[in-house]
Amino acid sequence: MQCRNMGYWFLMRYQFEKTFLLSLILSPILDLPIDFGKEDEVCNQLPKSNSLDDLDNHGLVLLFHPLADTYTQPIAVFASRGPIKGDTLVKLLIKATILLEKSGVLVHGFVSDSALTNRKVWSELGISGKLEGSHSYIEHFNDSNRTFFAFSDTSHLIKSVRNRLYNKRELLVDPMEKPVELNHFRILHEYDKTISLENCDSTINFCIKFNEMFDALNRKVPFQGVHPDTNDYKVLQDTLKWLNNWEMRVKIEELNEQNFLTSNAAEGLRVTLNSTIDIIPYLIEVYNFSYVLTGKITQDNLEKFFGTIRQAAGANVHPGIPTFLQLYKLPYIYSLLKPPKFGNCTIEPSDDANE
């Protein structure tokens, strides 16, 4: 079995400025049943916009990324008025996975951010990050003997923790220890080594914990590959245990809920840690992987894709749907058609050109 045809989905929304009247739109405000068509059939029964109030302002991109290669491939793009409903996203995810697998690709899971519609996808699929009843994978849509994993993007999770600390000013992991304080970061930023920090051991340990976890979830080169015998794998297990213990102290009322993470961030972390811990031995035992590059299971490439779209749009950093749909195709077609700048090869004229 070749590793290069194995990968996962990126699932991400993109918000646009007001653009134009869509002739074809996935729109929750219309609340119509959506028919995605039969096999090899053009979908022509999707909801349509009826007035100038139905301006599309959101885009959805499904993008495939292999676990053992560097390319990324957009598979589908949709425009909608408002975010697409979670149950509709589930249908798109299932159909896209099945169709891609029919072409010879093995899809092992999907990565999404913490948007409410994406969390709705989790609940519709039976994915849960709650302390009691955590479940990070389901039976594969295409093969009952395989597993389909869910992940939350690591960078978005770290941002959620940062925002929680910023809003609450402090977090308390253990009632017997000092709190993690935002003020420590401010002092460090302003004075650095000029003055010493006091009573900041908890803040230091908190930073070390998340730094080690982020490193373990962001390995991108082969010599750092993660397998069950590496320290990174132990870091992931220890971080999951630490997170569960922290939330348990809230459950038994040793800590106030304000001293803990948001439920969205905690559940996202738990599902991602569980999925990563489970998928590593799964890929090694079932598909003969030597290691897993955890840095490939993030939305970095999708963020890069949208960054390319913004740059290609020039001064218009919020392109409309017509511009987006045009730019969506150009980078990938251009990379295939553009001849190399250097080398000893030349482009031979086709037979048609000589006639």
What value does the mean pLDDT take over residues 150-162? 90
Cβ-count burial of 61 within 10 angstroms (0-12 exposed, 13-18 middle, 19+ buried)?
buried
Nearest C-alpha neighbor of 119 from the set 157, 146, 68: 157
**Which pLDDT score is estimated for 224?**
93
Residue 71: band (very low, low, confident or very high) from pLDDT cuts 50, 70, 90: confident
- Quick check: pTM over 0.75? no
Residue 310 lies in a domain: no
Residue 193: band (very low, low, confident or very high) from pLDDT cuts 50, 70, 90: low
What value does the mean pLDDT take over residues 183-203? 73
Order of strands across the sheet that contains 147-152: 73-80, 58-66, 6-15, 106-112, 147-152, 137-139
What value does the mean pLDDT take over residues 132-148? 90
What value does the mean pLDDT take over residues 325-343? 63
H or E, element range at 188:
helix 182-191
pLDDT tens per residue across span 9-38 = 454 444 433 333 332 233 333 233 344 445
Residue 249: band (very low, low, confident or very high) from pLDDT cuts 50, 70, 90: very high
| Owning domain of residue 267 | 154-297
Total structural domains in the chain? 1
Residue 78 lies in a domain: no
Q: Looking at per-residue confidence, does 78 or 289 come out higher?
A: 289
**Which pLDDT score is estimated for 215?**
95
**Would you tell me how many other CB atoms lie within 10 Å of the CB of residue 348?**
7
Residue 233 lies in a domain: yes
Residue 322 lies in a domain: no
Residue 344 lies in a domain: no
pLDDT tens per residue across span 255-300 = 999 999 999 999 999 999 999 999 999 999 998 999 999 998 888 8
Residue 254 lies in a domain: yes
Residue 198 lies in a domain: yes
Residue 243 lies in a domain: yes
Mean of pLDDT over the chain: 78
Say how many Å lie between the first and final Cα of the chain, rounded. 45
Q: Is the pLDDT of residue 223 over 50?
A: yes
Cα–Cα dist 211/15, whole Å: 31
